[in-house]
Every structure is written in structure tokens, then in C-alpha cells.
Amino acid sequence: MPPRTLILGQTLAFTDDPFQVGIEAATRFDGRGGVLVEDGRIADLGGAEDLRHRHRDAEVRDMGKALILPGFVDAHAHYPQTAMIASWGKRLIDWLNDYTFPEEMRFADPDHAAHIAARYLDLLLAHGTTTVSSYCTIHPGSAEALFEAAEARGMRIVAGKTCMDRNAPEGLRDTPQSAYDDSKRLLEKWHGRGRLGYAITPRFSPTSTPDQLAALGALWAEHPECLMQTHLSEQTDEIEWVLGLFPGARDYLDTYEQFGLLGGRGVYGHAIHLTDRERARLAETGAGLVHCPTSNTFIGSGLFDMGRAVAERQRVGLATDTGGGSSFSMLRTMAAAYEIGQLAGTPIHPAELLWLATGGAARVLHLEDRIGRLAIGAEADLVALDLASTPAIAQRAAEAGTLWEAVFPTIMMGDDRAVAQVWVAGRAVG
């Protein structure tokens, strides 16, 4: 990529959380704007003609009427489940036993891990996603493979070796000590290396003994700069299972809290069926909740209460939850979030959906100072959306009277065909 590139099109920037300050106050739209990219960062923003005048030496990439946004941020995914995405039916526990665990066994083979890691990240980029926080498997090599693939592509990602020492097949169990040792070694090698971050990753309470949770809590206390990611209150029968395994716990969240696994840099996937105490503690600590709408409907988990989360000022992001989620696309994920919001009586505006998939998810991952926004100094991870990518979308968008009417058909009906171009750290890919 040349040292300076001026990308022109329609631009949409978020300056704040639209759920809290309102759509108009949180957004800046320019129907003919641009982004100047230099050394992998956004160096200037503004109207297209003003930018052309100020930066005559820059190479121009004119995207026409495409909408230029921050690259999408997927705050919760399982890259080892790439090959088994959209596997038929069943509830969470059966689905894990019948599909997930057999597939994850294959990641003992480093070549298989490398192959799937490359495939997965390329699929993300094709769908406009430039950052992901992913679980790996219990095999340290699965994390190595994903970090190596991301580094080769210049992507900013977060990932961690998944830790499980019970209620999983032989070959997918580690121990409290090996979970600590492997995670620490990977953390020390990869965290903060280039655009890579490490997340300490107990899968969820049912697959970790108290000793393992305590060991990972100790590791997090030693490295509080890292994220900690896990699952919380995805299904009602899962919650019953958890409380049976931890009879002294006040609730599901307490099975993490009592072992030092609750904090502001904690990222909790799903968080559907929460008690009042859990909600209060999550808000108090500033922990991140991740809404995974295609997964929640696909596996029949329940409806995330966005309205209540917003009222409680919870930190919320959006995610595909590949492969429990049924799509690699954050557009499809936004559409599912809208549909769940409708069922729950909480209509979600297109601006709010886009923010959840960019700035909101970046904030959950504590990366909001680097990605998920169009702002001078931010890393130049960008996506340009074609708002007329199919005949069905184009005919609806042609009737639009506002930006939001123009973009909403792409949110509801768009797929990878809507992704006109992606830039990773200012470099065009694909």
C-alpha cells in the first residue's frame, strides 16, 4: 500500500454510544466524505473535496456511493468450529458432545489447526470482519496457529487456549496445572506482540473444576492487562447443571467470582438468563456482555434483553459465536439482533446495530482506543459496504429517504456480496 491513501465514499463515524446519547449525537455522516490512511492509521477525515485539496499527493481510492465504516468486530467466536458450522439441531450440551468436541479433537494436529485458522480468518475478512475474539481448543498449537495466521494478515485479534479438565472427552481435557502453564506460556509469547492479544479462556464452569478455575483466576491476577473470556447463563438447563456442580454458589456468575474470574476485563458470552444479583455485579465491575443472536436462536437458548442491558448501562457487544452461530457475517448477526429485539419488545435502530458490531464490540474487548471507530489516530481497519449489492437490496435502497433507510436493507438482507472492500491496518485485502 502506498504511504498515503485517500479512500472516498460515504462515511459514517460514531463519536459515542447511540444507546446512551441518541442517534444524532452519536453519529457523523458525510454523503461525500473520505478517510486518509497513512502508516496503518487514520490520518485525516472530512469532506472528499477538502481532503483532495489538503492531500494532493495521496493515492485516491474512490468507492463511489459505498458506505465506509470501521471494520466489524466479532467479540465472541470459536474458530475451531469453522468446519462444522450449521450442524443440525439439538440443545447446547448435546450439540457440544455430538459436534463440537469431536471436531475440536482434530486440533491436536498442528497442520489441521493451521489450515482451519487460515480458512477462518479469510472468511472473516470476506465478510468485513477485521477483529475477532476467539476461543481455541485445549491444544496450545491451536492458539499458536490462529496467532500465526492473524500475524501473517496483520489482523488485530484476541484469542486464548480453551481450558477444560472435566465433563469433556479424553483428549480434550487438560489439568489445573497444565491449563495455567500453557496459558501463561502462550500469554507471554503472544500478548502485545504486534496486533495480538491474549485472553485467559476457561470454556465455562461445567468443564472446569474449582481447582482449574482457581488456577486461571490466579493467572489473571498476575496478568490483569489480559482479557478473560468465558460463557455465562446461555441456557436454563446449563444453569441447573452449573448449580448442581457448585452447590455452594449463589448463582452462575458466582462460580467465576469466587475464583477471581470476575472483573472489568472479563468478557461473558450470551448472558441471557441472569439474576438480579448477577446483573448488578456485572454492571458494577464494568464487565463485558456479548450478545450472540444467531447462536441463541439456532441452539434455542433464549432472547437476550438488550433493553434491560442498556438501562443498566451494561457494556455490550455483538458476536457471531461461530459455529453455534449460523453465519460468519456480522450483517446477518445484526439482522438477528434486530429480530430478537423485536420479539423482546426492544426495537434496535440501524445505527445502534452498526455500533454494536463496531465500537460496542471494540469497547467490550477494551480496544475502543484503537479500533471500531473512524477517528484520527485510530487503526485503519475499514470496510466499504455496497448498499445495492443485490437486486432485492438495490430496489429497496432506491426508495430510501434517509441514510438509515438506505443501510437497513443491507443489514437485513446483506451478505459477503455487500462487502465492496476491506482494509486491514490500511492495507486493502481481498
The secondary structure of the chain, three-state, reads CCCEEEEEEEEEEECCCHHHHCHHHHEEEEEEEEEEEECCEEEEEEEHHHHHHHCCCCEEEEEEEEEEEECEEEEEEEHHHHHHCCCCCCCHHHHHHHHHHHHHHHHHCHHHHHHHHHHHHHHHHHCCEEEEEEECCCCHHHHHHHHHHHHHHCCEEEEECEECCCCCCCCCCCCHHHHHHHHHHHHHHHCCCCCEEEEEEECCHHHCCHHHHHHHHHHHHHCCCCEEEEEECCCHHHHHHHHHHCCCCCCCCHHHHCCCCCCCCEEEEECCCCCHHHHHHHHHHCCEEEECHHHHHHCCCCCCCHHHHHHCCCEEEECCCECCECCCCHHHHHHHHHHHHHHCCCCCCHHHHHHHHHHHHHHHCCCCCCCCCCCCCCECCEEEECCCCCHHHHHHHCCCCCHHHHHHHHHHHCCHHHEEEEEECCEEEC
Residue 209 main-chain phi, psi, to 5 deg: -75, 165
pLDDT per residue as tens digits for the range 203-228:
999 999 999 999 999 999 999 999 99
pLDDT(125) > 90 = yes
CB neighbourhood size of 339 (10 A): 16
Comma-separated ranges of CATH 3.20.20.140 domains in the chain: 72-364
pLDDT per residue as tens digits for the range 221-261:
999 999 999 999 999 999 999 999 999 999 999 999 999 99
pLDDT(14) > 90 = yes
Residue 330 to residue 353: CA distance in whole angstroms: 10
pLDDT(94) > 90 = no
The maximal CA–CA distance of the chain, rounded, in angstroms, is 68
pLDDT per residue as tens digits for the range 327-351:
999 999 999 999 999 999 999 999 9
The confidence score (pLDDT) of residue 1 equals 45
Residue 216 to residue 351: CA distance in whole angstroms: 37
The confidence score (pLDDT) of residue 324 equals 86
What percentage of the chain exceeds 90 in pLDDT? 92
Taking residues 155-177, what's their average pLDDT? 97
pLDDT(93) > 80 = no
Instruction: Provide the pLDDT confidence category of residue 98 given band limits of 50, 70 and 90.
Output: confident
Residue 117 to residue 85: CA distance in whole angstroms: 14
Residue count (the chain) = 430
Residue 381 to residue 372: CA distance in whole angstroms: 8
What percentage of the chain exceeds 70 in pLDDT? 99
pLDDT(275) > 90 = yes
Grid coordinates representing 314?
451494561
pLDDT(2) > 70 = no
The mean predicted confidence, pLDDT, of the chain is 96
Instruction: Provide the pLDDT confidence category of residue 97 given band limits of 50, 70 and 90.
Output: confident
The confidence score (pLDDT) of residue 262 equals 98
Residue 188 to residue 186: CA distance in whole angstroms: 5
**CATH number at 4-71+373-429:** 2.30.40.10
Taking residues 102-119, what's their average pLDDT? 95
For the domain made up of 72-364, the CATH class stated in words is alpha beta
**Minimum mean pLDDT among 20-34, 89-103, 262-276, 282-296: which range?**
89-103
pLDDT: which is higher, 100 or 64: 64
pLDDT(353) > 60 = yes
Comma-separated ranges of CATH 2.30.40.10 domains in the chain: 4-71+373-429
Surface-to-core class of residue 123, CB atoms within 10 Å of its CB (0-12 exposed, 13-18 middle, 19+ buried) = middle
Query: Whose grid coordinates read 469497547?
Result: 363
Residue 335 to residue 350: CA distance in whole angstroms: 9
